[in-house]
């Protein structure tokens, strides 16, 4: 077995590779939080015609293009475009730059919101009309109806889909390696470049991802059961 997997050669690199997990989870967590907030905003403001049309275009673009392209646009193209605009308007030479981690936060948040908005919309549509009618009968304002009744119920109904979206974010965050962020994949690439080993570093990264996803799935099921019991 030692000929198949050279543990002695990779064991000293495992802590180094594992440190990339914090970046992976941080990007996914930030994207999930801002994605939910922006997703809720898109759903609530959907009744405004102009906003609804703009949000439809935004959702179509982010759901219809590859995530790696979106990240490349934010990190490489947008700073160059802003530089050209400033140079053209002011005749000044500005070297616009954006850090890799900020580009990742922006890209993943915008991408996630495009999907989360549809998840939340479905959750809101699943709320029993009787709940809303009861709130109206009691004279509860629209704001408090949304805040205290509709959104909590929609969140419970949507939780499995939201958890799946978070797990997807964790896996898809691996593409940030293309802009030099030292997540799990980037650290694996660095180890490979120094040791000329592909198999062992990739297996280590695969095991880390597998364990994390399994733990998140388990935690998600536990929370889902608690929410279901609380609803019944």
Which pLDDT tens digit goes with each residue over 193-221? Answer: 999 999 999 999 999 999 999 999 999 99
In this structure, which topology does domain 22-181 adopt according to CATH?
A: MetI-like fold (1.10.3720)
Domain ranges of the chain: 22-181
pLDDT at 102: 95
Give the CB-side neighbour count of residue 60, counting CA atoms within 13 A.
6
For residue 48, the SS3 value is coil
Residue 231: the pLDDT is 54
CA atoms of 22 and 86, how far apart (whole Å): 36
**pLDDT for residue 230:** 64
The most distant pair of C-alpha atoms in the chain lies apart, rounded to whole Å, by 73
Q: What's residue 156's pLDDT?
A: 87
Q: For the chain, what percent of residues have pLDDT higher than 90?
A: 55
Provide the pLDDT for residue 176: 95
Pure H helices in the chain: 7-10, 14-18, 20-44, 49-64, 67-72, 78-90, 100-125, 129-137, 142-145, 151-172, 184-195, 199-231
pTM for the full predicted model: 0.87
First to last CA, the chain: 52
pLDDT score, position 123 = 85
pLDDT for residue 211: 97
Which residues of the chain are modeled with pLDDT < 70?
1-2, 91, 230-232
The confidence score (pLDDT) of residue 76 equals 94
């Amino acid at each position: 077995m030692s000929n198949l997997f050279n543990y002695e050669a990779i064991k000293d690199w495992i802590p180094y590779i594992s440190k990339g997990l914090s970046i992976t989870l941080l990007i996914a967590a930030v994207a999930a939080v801002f994605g939910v907030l922006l997703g809720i905003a898109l759903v609530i403001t959907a009744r405004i015609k102009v906003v609804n049309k703009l949000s439809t275009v935004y959702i179509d673009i982010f759901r219809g293009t590859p995530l790696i392209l979106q990240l490349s646009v934010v990190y490489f193209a947008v700073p160059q475009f802003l530089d050209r605009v400033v140079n053209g308007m002011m005749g000044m030479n500005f070297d616009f730059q954006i850090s890799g981690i900020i580009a990742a936060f922006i890209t993943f948040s915008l991408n996630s919101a495009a999907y989360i908005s549809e998840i939340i919309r479905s959750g809101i549509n699943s709320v029993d009309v009787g709940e809303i009618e009861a709130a109206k009968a009691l004279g509860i304002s629209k704001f408090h109806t949304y805040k205290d009744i509709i959104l909590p119920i929609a969140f419970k109904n949507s939780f499995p889909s939201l958890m799946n979206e978070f797990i997807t974010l964790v896996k898809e965050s691996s593409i940030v390696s293309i802009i030099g962020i030292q997540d799990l994949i980037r650290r694996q690439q660095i180890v490979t470049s120094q040791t000329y080993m592909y198999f062992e570093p990739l297996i280590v990264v695969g095991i880390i991802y597998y364990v994390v996803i399994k733990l998140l799935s388990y935690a998600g099921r536990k929370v889902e059961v608690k929410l279901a019991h609380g609803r019944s």
